[in-house]
Amino acid sequence: MPPININPDRLLGDLQKLRSFGARQSGVVRPAFSEADIAAREWLAGRMREAGLEPVFDPAGNLFGVPQTDRPCILSGSHSDSQPEGGWLDGAYGVIAALEVARASAETGGPPVAVVSFQDEEGRFGALTGSRIWTGALPLDEADGITDLEGRSFAEARAAMAGLCVAGFIQPGRFSGFIEAHIEQGPVLDDAAESIGVVNAIVGIRSLQMRFTGHQNHAGTTPMAVRRDAFQGLAAFTGAINRDFADVVTPATVWTIGHVALQPNASSIVPGQADFTVQWRDGSADRLDHMEAIIRETAMRLCDDRGLQLDISNPVAVPPTEMDATLRARLERAAETTAPGAWRIMPSGALHDAANVARLMPAAMLFVPSIGGVSHNFSEDTHKHDLVRGAEVLARAIAE
């Protein structure tokens, strides 16, 4: 195969153009099915057509750019919807990098490359909605019943772009594999001054909703010895799992207590109830199991000791997704050629559409750095030379 020579100015120009849809201050407000999102998709469809790809909107609002070829080709892309108030690169980078590689490959007689922008990755209707529908994990009629925070249903939302969409879905069999480029959204590459991360696995996520119920009491007249204080239980639980995890986790393992609600939440009343979530992520299903056992056993023992009632609900378990070994090896060779010594193999701590697509075909991912590790924030950014290098690695891996 000849090399695919990408055009950096065209890559950065299209990224800037996509940024302009829903632009606010230094960031982007382009949630799925918003006017800005639909306008951005129509512009993307036009750029695909100019690149020799046939733009196809499926019923979920996913936009595919399909090359005219009979044999299976690589699919690349990400998503072009943004967080409610997001940065300019989260999703957009992977879509434009794929578009530029497809375009450059067509110009230089390289392999045909298909491009995709999945719909609602950021979760107006639950995370990764478009790729879940396309890969069969979420039936369209079930998705139609999901409502956003304002009570609008997915069915109503997608009706706004019904005029653009075809009736059926693109057959996955048209693609030989999927490669998604994305910003890291964490500090690892930026801290190490590296340009590329080749993802070995998208971490699995577990979470549990927990409730400790004690006894609500007067904060002046209830001696410490007889209190059943739900918040003190939560504080002790937090310390206990931190200690017990120490022998189990790796530096890439994370766990978070991000949501806490006390009842009655008044400074003069001993808290009678604490609701909170524990979420943990790791690339190994065994390690996720081990952590879950620690969480459940610690909560049971501690609630027993303190006279608290324990309720556990809403278990969430997204399994880890190994990236395809062959595609990953191609990305590693391409990274070493493009950025010798300035890349690493790493897990993805965030979920991505590639985790869904991996159910249907070989899938892989590459990261470019996030300056300061900042994402889901107007100040999200990546150095231009890293944006270009990421597209070059994608092009080399596809050309190989």
Binding site for its own copies (CB under 8 A): 184-188, 191, 203, 205, 207, 217-226, 229, 231-232, 234-236, 238-239, 242, 249, 251-262, 265-271, 277, 279, 281, 348-351, 373, 375-376
Q: Which is nearer to its own copies, 170 or 254 (CB)?
A: 254
Beta partners for residue 63, in sequence order: 57, 117
Least distance between its own copies and beta carbon 83 (Å) = 11
Q: Which is nearer to its own copies, 81 or 190 (CB)?
A: 190
Tally of CB atoms within 10 A around 363? 27
Least distance between its own copies and beta carbon 64 (Å) = 27
Least distance between its own copies and beta carbon 365 (Å) = 13
Kindly report the CA angle at 248 between 245 and 253, in degrees rounded to 5?
A: 80
Q: Which is nearer to its own copies, 54 or 191 (CB)?
A: 191
Buried residues in 106-120 as b, exposed as e (16+ CB within 10 A): beeebbbbbbbbbbb
Cα atoms in the Cβ-side hemisphere of radius 13 Å centred on 65: 31
Write down the residue that tokens 């806490």 correspond to: 260
Least distance between its own copies and beta carbon 242 (Å) = 8
Q: Which is nearer to its own copies, 168 or 223 (CB)?
A: 223
Least distance between its own copies and beta carbon 118 (Å) = 18
Q: Which is nearer to its own copies, 17 or 290 (CB)?
A: 290
Least distance between its own copies and beta carbon 77 (Å) = 20
Beta partners for residue 263, in sequence order: 273
Q: Which is nearer to its own copies, 175 or 245 (CB)?
A: 245
